Amino acid sequence: MATSTDLRAAIEEVQNQLPEDQLAGDLEGAYEADWATKIERRVGAMPWWVISAVVHSVIFLLATLLTVALPQPQIDEVTITADLAKKEQPEYDPKKKRDIFKNPQEVKAETQVENPVVVHEQAEVSETFETDNDMDTRTARGQEDAISDIPLGGTGVTGSVGVGGGGMAGCFGYRDGGGRKKAVARFGGSPATESAVEAALRWLARHQEPDGHWNGKKYEAKGNDGDVGITGLALLAFLGAGHTEKSGRFRDNVRRAQAWLISQQSPKDGLIGYKYREFHHGYGGGYLHPIAALALAESYGMAKNPQVGAAAQKAVDFAINVHQKPYEGWRYENKSAGDVSATGWYVMFLKSSRIAGLKVDGAGFQGAMNLINRCTNKKNGSVGYMNARGVPSTTAVGMVCRQFMGQRNTNKWLVKGAEYLMSDPENLPAWDKKNGRCVWGPCTFYHWYYGTLAMFQMGGKDWMTWNAALKKTLLPKQCKGGPMDGSANDKDGSWDPLGRQTRYGGRVYSTAVGALCLEVYYRYLPMFTK
């Protein structure tokens, strides 16, 4: 009896059971099917799920066979350059000798620029001061890629002002990639200077307190009154190398330093370091505030953190509305006659704030220029502290103020100031512990810092001479070796305190300022650009 439920299959099943002699004639012609027809009938008799399973199994088997049998296609290798992806930085090996200091091999560039300042063809508005609009024209605010690729040919510089910090954030220099490397090569840096900066930053990172500040007394300062200032300088050193709260291996150090500085700001008037307001007869307002505020302004310009920007704006308002005497510079106490030393920090802070997009009243710059003009010796171009009896260090400060307020390196007072500094070889950087104890002597980190900024902007042979002396002074004297555990005995990458100013900041001060000097090649780019 047929067991199939399909009529055709049942008929065929009956037919197959008949003897062969009965399969003749019409019966054979009517019911005998070829093998393909038989398969079709059999398949048609199967349940649908069985058919589906069989079909999918066959397809999967064929796909597998094709994958194995066919040759693999050739895949073109793509190399991602540094311009497209950030290269991984090699791990720092503290046990590896920094032989680079013994035999510094200069970075090779197609050309060395003798004069890094671009001179505009248009006439200067004033010999002593430019209008706010003119200053903003040269600021080139907001060009994020303005200096990411400095050309090596020619004598000009295309890019925006580099009044501060690290990179690719408006006008604050470089963060990484080819731009920074080209700048180092072009403006007189070397692998040795880059290695020194890296070692200095690592020392600062190891010695930062958990709450974000640096403790000067732990590292050879006479007390903690200068902690706000040295924390600002240390933060500037990290920013100058391109590390922000959002990027870089030291972003946590940056973030904590910012938070601590903000916590030191008076909610009443905006003074940063208000707890040390009476520090050394008012140094808190004269030095701690502008240095810390400069760091916050640069940090805001690079990362655009609204909280940091708000603190920096309060610091600007304090500087001009509370602290500055109208049409004067700045000193220690509110509304007192200015001195060139404190005014230098305020000018840099206000210029950096303006570049970052904060609101800065031009009256602040006008008062600073009045002071600088009054303290400039009209015979030799030197600049004094509160009068025209010039000394090397304040001459450099006065030059930096003029440069940051828009005067070009062809200005006669800048030319005379440079001639004054370069007229005596003893004004060049030199490691001299005996002479480094005086207040304004050339053998101090303070003098090297301002002199480096001033001569870098002047360019030419004077800069080349100064830079050679700077590298000869700083690179061999950087501490090397020993424990790297964050203790007082850990000195690798730091510089010994030298100069009277270090008594308030100790080793933190000298190390931060030393790093800032060696970051000049890409941090403070020529300012006179469109």
Name the residue with higher pLDDT: 386 or 4: 386
In a domain, 495, yes or no: yes
The structural domain count of the chain equals: 2
Instruction: Give the model confidence (pLDDT) of 450-462 as tens digits.
Output: 999 999 999 999 9
What would the pLDDT profile of 452-492 be if each residue is shown by its tens digit? Answer: 999 999 999 999 999 999 999 999 999 999 999 999 999 99
pLDDT score of 527: 53
Q: What is the mean pLDDT of residues 99-112?
A: 38
Same domain, 139 and 43: no
* pLDDT of 28: 41
- The pLDDT, as a whole number, for residue 530 is 25
Higher pLDDT, 336 or 10: 336
**Exposed, middle or buried, 435 (CB in 10 Å: 0-12/13-18/19+)?**
middle
Within-domain flag for 112: no
Rounded to an integer, what distance in angstroms lies between the CA atom of residue 404 and that of residue 44?
A: 92
Domain boundary among 63, 83, 99: 63
Is 301:357 a contact under the CB 8 Å cutoff?
yes
End-of-domain residue from the set 46, 63, 80 = 63
Q: Is residue 89 part of a domain?
A: no
CATH of the domain at 411: 1.50.10.20
How confident is the model over 51-77, as pLDDT tens digits?
666 666 666 666 666 555 555 544 433
Residues 56 and 139 placed together within one structural domain of the fold: no
The yes-or-no verdict on residue 526 having pLDDT over 60 is yes
175 shares its domain with 26 = no
Give, rounded to a whole angstrom, the gap between the first and last alpha carbons of the chain: 102
Residue 516's domain comprises 129-523
Angle (CA) 70 74 77, round 5°: 155
CA distances from 240 to 246, 355, 380, 515, 521 (A): 14, 15, 33, 9, 10
Does residue 489 sit in the same domain as residue 373?
yes
The answer to which of 36-50, 78-92, 213-227, 470-484 has the lowest mean pLDDT is 78-92
For residues 39 and 133, state if they share a domain. Answer: no
Residues 379 and 303 in one domain: yes
140 and 57 in one domain?
no
Report yes or no on 74 lying in a domain: no
Going by C-alpha positions, the residue among 191, 120, 106 that lies closest to residue 157 is: 120
Band of pLDDT at residue 38, cut at 50, 70 and 90: low
Range in 115-119, 324-328, 336-340, 468-472 with the lowest mean pLDDT:
115-119
How far is residue 7's CA from residue 12's CA, in Å, rounded to a whole number? 9
Residue 175 has pLDDT above 90, yes or no: no
Is 158 found in the same domain as 50?
no
One domain, residues 138 and 51? no
Residues 249 and 354 in one domain: yes
Question: Residue 118: pLDDT band by 50, 70, 90 thresholds?
Answer: very low
- 221 plus 351 within the same structural domain: yes
